Amino acid sequence: MKPVTILSIESSCDDTSAAVIRDGLLLSNVIASQKVHEEYGGVVPELASRAHQQNILPVVDTALKRADVEKNELSAIAFTRGPGLLGSLLVGTSFAKGLALALNIPLVDVNHLQGHIMAHFVEPSEQYRQTIPSLQGIEIQHPRYPFICLLVSGGNSQIVKVEAYNRMTILGQTIDDAAGEAFDKCAKVLGLPYPGGPWIDRLAKQGDENKYPFAKPNLPGYDYSFSGLKTSFLYTIRDMMKAESVTAVEELAERIPNFKEDMCASLQKTIIDILLGKLKKASRDERITEVAIAGGVSANSGLRDALTDYGRRYRWNVYIPPFSFTTDNAAMIGQAGYYKYLDGDFCPIDAAPYAKTLI
Ligand code: KG4
């Protein structure tokens, strides 16, 4: 029987990515990150769309070459339809449509958030593992349905009950900022480059997590809020600047030993406490002990360690995706697309991308 070969495309934010999955095995996954946003301290949508236009052809071409797959061997094209930046999504959507039309093969649209959760089911081929040292020799555990997934990225923070690849229920979500946004915005206040999450992660390792107590929200249910924490972080710095009679964060850092490290460690601990507190409640109420994390923030080493610790304490089976599948990538889109393809769930050629949606 002819193998099922899916080319997938992800372009929802500032990473252009293409992957090839054959019969459920990941053959290639190419990601071009956009450096152009660094100097602005955040993603500039117009620049992101332009960079996607420049990147998409070489990225798709490289993904096919690395997979050793010809275009005429493709069974379908899967693409991220949303949520995300509309201009960025348009580039991937239009490219996917054009190629699917030219090759006369079906199109499969994928919800980016479902994609992040499906990252847990990506099965890298031997060929792909050879290219990623951290994947060599490790066995990837896939969660069993139903499981609870904490989905934390730059744009979302949700607790999702996952009963099947296409049956997901949001139990709770942020009512204002996402966890990744809190990392990025606080990092910006400290004068760290964008995206700030990985920088905070690194500095937090050398800091005292109990040095600065920041405000935690008190919301009922499983919803999150991070805007108060951002304000608390900002006001702590403002008050310290006043006390030290300085006008810049760098001056504070010169005067107070380990200032940035302690701020990062305290912030990271507060975010982790907020995230895992609600996750614990959801797991207990739903009586589900298969617990996973997904999304860019799931790369955070403090969150990974804390989740592993919770797993030990509460007897959860914990699933943490390999680093390569945490931030935006086309492999996860291909995995969700592969399942949809097997179910014959295709999308019309006039499908428009969407900026906002739920799972
Ligand atoms: O999933 P993702 O690549 O993009 C979205 O779909 O939003 O997530 C990006 C977010 C950014 O906010 C970034 O700062 C955060 O993930 N992030 C981290 C780490 N690595 C990436 N946050 C904390 N610690 C990290 N190590």
What is the layout of strands, in order, in the sheet containing 290-294?
167-173, 157-164, 147-152, 290-294, 317-319
Residue 8 has pLDDT above 90, yes or no: yes
Q: Pocket around ligand 1: residues whose beta carbon is below 6 Å from it?
A: 13, 153-155, 180, 183-184, 195-198, 201, 295-297, 299-300, 327-328
Per-residue pLDDT of 156-180, as tens digits, reads 999 999 999 999 999 999 999 999 9
- C-alpha distance from residue 193 to each of 58, 190, 199, 302, 326 (Å): 27, 9, 8, 20, 20
Name the average pLDDT for the chain.
Answer: 96
Residue 187 CA: nearest ligand 1 atom is: 14
Measured between alpha carbons, how far is 205 from 282 in angstroms, rounded to an integer? 29
The helix (run of H) or strand (run of E) holding residue 90 is helix 86-103
- C-alpha distance from residue 204 to each of 69, 233, 263, 273, 303 (Å): 43, 15, 8, 15, 12
Measured between alpha carbons, how far is 303 from 297 in angstroms, rounded to an integer? 8
Residue 263 CA to ligand 1 centre (angstroms) = 19
Q: Provide the 3-class DSSP secondary structure of residue 319.
A: strand
Residue 184 CA: nearest ligand 1 atom is: 14
Residue 116 CA: nearest ligand 1 atom is: 1
Residue 321 has pLDDT above 90, yes or no: yes
Name the closest-CA residue to atom 16, ligand 1.
296
Q: Which of 211, 316, 199 is nearest to 269 (CA)?
A: 211
Q: pLDDT-derived band of residue 35, with 50, 70 and 90 as boundaries?
A: confident
Measured between alpha carbons, how far is 173 from 179 in angstroms, rounded to an integer? 10
Per-residue pLDDT of 201-228, as tens digits, reads 999 999 999 999 999 999 999 999 999 9
Q: Specify whether the CB–CB gap between 260 and 203 falls below 8 A.
A: yes
Q: What is the DSSP secondary-structure string of 158-195?
A: EEEEEEETTEEEEEEEBSS--HHHHHHHHHHHTTPPSS
pTM: 0.95
Residue 181 CA: nearest ligand 1 atom is: 12
Mutate to test the pocket of ligand 1, among 16, 153, 157, 205 (most ligand atoms within 8 A of CB): 153
Measured between alpha carbons, how far is 42 from 118 in angstroms, rounded to an integer? 27
